[in-house]
Amino acid sequence: MKFSLITPCQNEELPQLLALRHNLLAQTTTDFEWVIALNEPLNLTSADWQVPFAVRQVTFHGATVGAARNAAMAAASGDWLVFVDSDDYLTADALATLAAITPFPAETFGDLYQYPTYEPHTSFVASSAQTAVQDNLPKWGGAKRRQPKNRAVNLSTAMLGQLTPGLTVTPTADNWLQHKYVSLAGDSRWNQFNRQLKITGKVVNRQLVQDHHLAFDETNALYPDYPFLTQVMAHTNRYVRLANPTYIRVKHNDPVNQPSVHQLVVADRWQQRIASWQASLAAITAPDLHLAFSRYCLYRLHRFLYMALATGATAEDPSVTDVPGLMVQLQAFLRLVDETALDEVSLLSRRILKHIRQHATCPQRAVDRIVHLRQLGRVIKHRGRGVTRLSYMWWFTKLPLKPNTILYESFLGRNFSDSPKAVYNYLQTTYPGQFKHVWISNPGVTGMPTGQPNTKVVKRFGWRYMYYLATAKFQVINMRQPKWFVKRPGTKFLATWHGTPLKHLVFDMDNVASANPLYKQIFFQQSRQWDYLVTANQFSVDVFEHAFMYPVAKMLKSGYPRNDILSAPGRDTRARQIKEKLGIPLDKKIILYAPTWRDDDYYGVGDYKFTLKLDINRLKRELGDEYVLVLRTHYFITEHLDTTGFGDFVYNESSYDDIAELYLISDVLITDYSSVFFDYAILKRPILYFVYDYEKYGSVLRGFYLDMEKDLPGPLLKTNDDVLDALHHLPQVTQDYAAAYDRFSQRFNAWEDGHATQRVVEAFFDADDLK
Amino acid sequence: MHVFINIVPQATLDWECLSTLIGELTNQHFAAASFNLHLNAPQKLTPTQQKQAQDWQLTINQLQLPLAPQNYLINLRETDHVLPGALQQWAQVTAQHPGSPISLAAFDAHQPLHDQIAAYVVDHQEAALQQTYRQLASDSLDNPDEQLLTLWSLQNYSVQTNLQSVRHLTQRIRPTGILLPTELLNPTLPLASAAQAFAVLRQSPDVVRLHVPTLQRAMWVEATPIAWLNELEKIDVEQLDVMWQPVYQAYFQRQLNALLKSIDRKQLTKEDHTELLARIKQNTTRPLHHWSRLRLLQLLSPRVAHQLFY
């Protein structure tokens, strides 16, 4: 048996263990056994487990991953131990590539070359199935600058025949040319030290482990690997890493529900880390390894400890508790550290470490100073960018609150619209002069309420923005606040959100491969700062409860303030005013076309994303006498769209601030997978769904909360013929879908009675605030 | 994988160069390769040359490209050189990442190959792959074969998806020296043309770049500037998709600048040079950098520019 794969597994990780089994079945060699350390019984005799390689299960005492690995190592019978975690996976040629390397002496420390990703195995398998390429890897999940860009090319033996006859290539070199790897030995032995100190994907000789009684630390739940790995390093003379990545390490993007060991919130994380370093360092006798490991540890202290110790350290690292105890522990550790390594640390940092080593106390002022200098250094490095934010953190958040100031933001400052606008208008009308209103705007945005009484418009991320963000007592925001926003005591935050959810949100998403991998965690932290969340219907309440993990008690079951205009008594007069403002003839009916932006689609040559699939020429020809078309699309589509030939038939209102006003003037809506139809349905006017790529959109539709086939209040139309036919026979369509429309309205618009804003304002503001 | 190698004469066919190139190719003993010589109408082979071509299994203007997947076409000039082991290296890459055009790094034709390989190896002596190989190698780097082996040890490729990067288009749009997947070829365009390479690029999801040189060749912009400008002008900007139009226009202006820089090496006649300057001036679009040659050319007549620059 060549390899023994060592996989520790907790009971709740069983599904990912099954995914790994599926992955191992794809290996191009079967000369390995799989030793699983799991305390829950596995039925290895069942059909699922009849695999072409040996599988063994071992149980272990205690609950630490170190104990699990030790138990599995003791049961292994292969020549080489390969450490594979249950949530990770291997490329199909991983073990075969490793086996092909000769010679591979026992004193070699092997590495399958770890490649971090956020893409789980199932998703990678699905994407690999669509391509013929052999070198496919999942989406990179590490730091951008570290992404391996180049792949080594192995050579064929035929090439050697082209060299001068008689030239001798040693068998080892010949083997290497065909199976390239990177070897670190001699002076370069401790290069890539950080990489060498990660257990997953490592390959160690089993006899070597037995001979030297090497084991993981079973008492340290978080850091059991350091003592084992440093001893393996001490007993090997060469580190061999495959030239191309073959070990895919899956990082967890949901630290709230599915934290990895490194993401667990543990009070004594730093204590455990230092204890592990200390035990490892004490056991190292070789001076060069001692120096290298000292450097490794000191760099981590220098890089991460001060931020955690600084006064006012926030969510970055909440795990430093018992600072005096940690200092005593650090003192003992720093006494073991190589003096040369300590002298290499930068001056300010070295002073702190030496202080701790001498006095076992935390030099708080020095720690705060180094943290502040780093923050300032970052601003200087970016040539002043971020200086307003720094001022916010350092000074503005220390100023007293302004009790009557309200800060509004709609779509990240892109326009004056949505529910914050409705709340603003209501307060201005009902409580004039009682509040000071501050609107956030991006540079160049028009339509902001500049010049209105008691109203200021401030530039997003500017000085005044930071000042009001820190001091305004009330914040009304329809998307998310900045990640670094500090929720001060006494302030109130109203999250109005911006629509009934159609596509899966945050915690309901399977995989967030394209967004920030920490999206879920960041969203969770941000939504904890919301005092109230406005909801439009019971459906939204139910969805937000699991998708945002937001408490129902803090949701306002009010309906959307932005939609009050659609039920207001004077809506017809208002519609006429808007039509006049836009220059649309009053005698023409209006079709509103609002498709979604398909940002991930490429249809083929000459058929680009921004092609409008609706046949405007035909619409004009057949309906031009009776209708006009108002377009509301992504700006990228409309910028490239030539509407000159359509005369006064097409009105491009994609940059019009308030979409609710466009609903009001239109007589029929054509849309597809956009959530605009929830709001439009309040008007009880016909809705058509032009879904020309419905089949192609299948995978996306699976991520919807609604069943597009059953739940919609209008017909799904796949061709322009269908659309025109429906437009020609609108009364019939309305009649056909009357029952579905009623059901839909009942489900989604039951709360929209034109008084949502009032309910929101009365719930959000205390009676004292409104007096 | 089968490689169709289409040899396109740089000007009038240089038989000696062709013999060298065919020798370099056949010495690689790569079975899955076939060779074709693309001769323009006035050029003909002598009977001796025809016999020689038959011996080499070199077809003349008879390139048959079966539409089987994973076949590749590469256009080469007879003045180009193919380094030992090149075809096998291409095959290794296409096995890993089939279906994408492969842009090949190359040494310069104006300097001795041996010196360039030696300099390349020295430049990359810190690379982990080379360092590992040097631990295992038996011979010193003074040996030319050992240098070649070291060059092979460094061979690597990257898969690039930034197709619209103007900076990289020089590597991706050229009539010769790129491996083009045959199923992406456009039958309405000449096989050896910048337009063909550009059409393939626009259809492909990514481009593979083989980083260590496997060819030695002269740049079109330097060796045949007029032909290069002809090639660029044949690409019809109006027919491009909206997203590609600005990219190509920016690239075209860059190439005009590159032409201006490279044509002062006195390989053109006075008439050709003046005409080329006139064409460059005519094709230049604003805005221009204040201190660029293109800007200066706008202020001068081509005749004066010729006297100043040449």
ipTM: 0.89
Cβ-contact A89, A248 below 8 angstroms: yes
Give, in order, the Cα–Cα distances in Å from A673 to each of A597, A697, A703, A704, B269.
Answer: 9, 9, 11, 9, 63
Å from B31 to nearest chain A CA? 11
Identify any residues that bridge with A458 across adjacent strands, giving them in sequence order.
A440
Residues 243 to 282 of B: which have CB under 8 A from any A CB? 243
User: For a pLDDT cut of 70, what percent of chain B falls above it?
Assistant: 98
Q: How far apart are CA A755 and CA A751, in angstroms?
A: 9
For residue A641, what is the nearest residue in chain B, using CA coordinates?
Answer: B242
Is A170's CB within 8 Å of B85's CB? no
Neighbours of B110 (CB within 10 A): 11
Q: What angle do CA A102, A104, A107 make, to 5 degrees?
A: 165
With an 8 Å Cβ cutoff, is B95 touching chain A? Answer: yes
The torsion angles phi and psi of A154, rounded to 5 degrees, stand at -80, 150
| CB nearest to B129's CB, from A168, A172, A180 | A180
Where would I find the beta strands (DSSP E) of A636-692? 650-652, 668-671, 687-690
Which chain B residues contact residue A166 at CB under 8 A? none
Give, in order, the Cα–Cα distances in Å from A761 to each of A379, A531, A755.
Answer: 39, 13, 10
Per-residue buried b or exposed e for A112-128, using 16+ beta carbons within 10 Å of the residue's own CB: bbbbbbbbbbebbbeeb
Is B132's CB within 8 Å of A176's CB? yes
Which chain B residues contact residue A640 at CB under 8 A? 242
For residue B100, what is the nearest residue in chain A, using CA coordinates?
Answer: A133
Return all residues near A344 (Cβ < 8 A) that are at least 6 apart. A295, A298
pLDDT at A656: 85
Cβ-contact A38, A71 below 8 angstroms: no
Cβ-contact A6, A72 below 8 angstroms: yes
With an 8 Å Cβ cutoff, is B158 touching chain A? Answer: yes
Measured on CA atoms in the order B290, B294, B297, B299, is the torsion positive or negative?
A: negative
> Amino acid identity of A80?
W
pLDDT at A601: 44
- Among A150, A601, A637, pick the best mutation site for testing chain B contact (most B Cβ within 10 A): A150
For strand B71-77 and strand B2-8, is the pairing parallel, antiparallel, or unpaired?
parallel
Which chain B residues contact residue A610 at CB under 8 A? 242
Is A164's CB within 8 Å of B211's CB? no
> Please, which contacts does A596-601 make with residues 24 or more away whose CB atoms are closer than 8 Å?
A596/A671, A596/A672, A596/A673, A596/A674, A597/A633, A597/A634, A597/A636, A597/A637, A598/A693, A600/A514, A601/A693, A601/A696
Query: For the CA atoms of A496, A502, A507, A510, what is the dihedral angle to 10 degrees?
Result: -160
For residue A602, what is the nearest residue in chain B, using CA coordinates?
Answer: B205
Q: How far apart are CA A61 and CA A72, in angstroms?
A: 12
Token pair of A145 as six digits: 């600058």
Measured on CA atoms in the order A564, A567, A572, A575, is the torsion positive or negative?
A: positive
Cβ-contact A84, A19 below 8 angstroms: no
Å from A24 to nearest chain B CA? 21
| CB nearest to B129's CB, from A152, A185, A605 | A152
State yes or no: cis peptide before B175, omega within 30 of 0. Answer: no
| CB nearest to A605's CB, from B85, B131, B203 | B203
- Mean pLDDT, each 10-residue run in order, chain A (771 residues): 92 90 94 95 91 95 94 96 96 95 95 93 81 87 91 87 76 92 94 96 97 96 96 97 96 82 84 96 96 97 91 58 93 96 96 97 94 96 95 95 96 92 96 95 92 96 97 96 94 95 85 67 93 96 95 96 91 91 91 76 40 82 91 68 72 85 94 90 94 77 83 92 94 94 94 95 91 76
Is B136's CB within 8 Å of A170's CB? yes
Per-residue buried b or exposed e for B226-262, using 16+ beta carbons within 10 Å of the residue's own CB: eebbebbeebeeeebeeebeebbeebbbebbbbbbeb
Top-confidence residue, A308 or B287: A308
| CB nearest to B97's CB, from A135, A158, A188 | A135
Residues constituting chain B: 310
For strand B178-181 and strand A589-594, is the pairing parallel, antiparallel, or unpaired?
unpaired
Is B133's CB within 8 Å of A151's CB? no
State yes or no: cis peptide before A227, omega within 30 of 0. Answer: no
Give A59-115 as a 3 state SS string: CCCCCCHHHHHHHHHHHCCCCEEEECCCCCEECCCHHHHHHCCCCCCCCEEEECCEE
With an 8 Å Cβ cutoff, is B153 touching chain A? Answer: yes
With an 8 Å Cβ cutoff, is B156 touching chain A? Answer: yes
| CB nearest to B152's CB, from A151, A177, A182 | A177
The torsion angles phi and psi of A462, rounded to 5 degrees, stand at -85, -175
> Amino acid identity of B104?
L
Is A156's CB within 8 Å of B88's CB? yes
| pLDDT higher than 90, residue B66 | no
- Among A162, A189, A237, A639, pick the best mutation site for testing chain B contact (most B Cβ within 10 A): A162
Neighbours of A645 (CB within 10 A): 10
Q: How far apart are CA A397 and CA A471, in angstroms?
A: 7
pLDDT at A703: 78
Token pair of A415 as six digits: 């326009």
Neighbours of B138 (CB within 10 A): 13
Per-residue pLDDT of B142-175, as tens digits, reads 888 889 999 999 999 999 999 999 999 999 999 9
pLDDT at A513: 53
| CB nearest to A183's CB, from B88, B132, B155 | B132
pLDDT at A609: 43
Is B91's CB within 8 Å of A155's CB? no
With an 8 Å Cβ cutoff, is B30 touching chain A? Answer: yes
Q: How far apart are CA A652 and CA A442, in angstroms?
A: 22
In the DSSP assignment, the letter for residue B166 is: G
Q: How far apart are CA B9 and CA B21, in angstroms?
A: 12
Give, in order, the Cα–Cα distances in Å from A155 to each of A159, B119, B154.
Answer: 7, 22, 11
> Amino acid identity of A700?
V
The mean pLDDT of B71-95, rounded to a whole number, is 95
Measured on CA atoms in the order A295, A299, A305, A311, is the torsion positive or negative?
A: positive
Q: How far apart are CA A131 and CA B281, in angstroms?
A: 46
Q: How far apart are CA A403 and CA A209, in angstroms?
A: 67
Å from B130 to nearest chain A CA? 9
DSSP string, B72-129: EEEEEETT-EE-TTHHHHHHHHHHHSTTS-EEEEEEETTS-HHHHHHHHHHHTTTSHH
Token pair of A459 as six digits: 């530039």
Å from A690 to nearest chain B CA? 25
Q: How far apart are CA B220 and CA B217, in angstroms?
A: 9
